[in-house]
Structure 1
Amino acid sequence: MTAPYLCPSCKSNRTRFNVIEQVATSIKKDPQTGEVVEEYTADNVSPMHIQYKGPSVRIQCAACGVIEEELSFIKRAEYNQTS
């Protein structure tokens, strides 16, 4: 998070952002009631359950509201410096 950001959508915001920390919880739900039947941990994951592999952090532009992966904001800042 030490790299400069530039919003890939509005292309004007370089200073105001919200950092969204994502924490995935693996669960199994009852299809009729919607109740959580089981909560998986790294030790007891079902063979039919794929673990979350997405980013742990996403960034929101505090000017226009767009939410993207951090790399999108970094790459837009890098591209804008060279052009």
Structure 2
Amino acid sequence: MPNAYLCPNCKTNRSRFNIIEQVAKPVKMDPRTGDIMEEYTNDNLDPFHTPYRGPERRVQCATCGLVEDERMFIKHAEHNRLQ
């Protein structure tokens, strides 16, 4: 279900946003070079690798540039409904 957004920073933008779809890529990196040594899937993580549990979407206000979790924009719009 679509939700209304309101930027919690500039408090005026209700219509111009960039929706950022986050896709986590689990990897093991060489600590000295930063080269990727191994890539994982969520089905084959090693015991010390915690799966990503962050938000699937983040939102950027296209007016002021604030980037936050989508829930922040939704909750701010709910709290400050248009009359």
Matches within 5 A, 1:1-83: 2-81=2-81
Gaps of 5+ in 2: none
After superposition, the C-alpha distances for 1:17-63 in whole angstroms (9 at most, x for unaligned) are 00001100000011122111000112210100010000111000000
Question: Could you tell me how far apart the structure 2 residues matched to 1:33 and 1:69 are?
Answer: 32
In structure 1, the residue corresponding to 2:80 is in which secondary structure? Answer: helix
Which residue type is aligned with residue 40 of structure 1?
Y
In structure 2, the residue corresponding to 1:5 is in which secondary structure? Answer: coil
Gaps of 5+ in 1: none
In structure 1, the residue corresponding to 2:51 is in which secondary structure? Answer: coil
* Structure 1 stretches of at least 4 aligned residues deviating more than 6 Å after TM superposition: none
Give TM-score, length-normalised by structure 2.
Answer: 0.93
The alignment yields a C-alpha RMSD, in angstroms, of 1.3
Q: Give percent identity, aligned residues only.
A: 57
Question: Could you tell me how far apart the structure 2 residues matched to 1:69 and 1:31 are?
Answer: 30
Give TM-score, length-normalised by structure 1.
Answer: 0.93
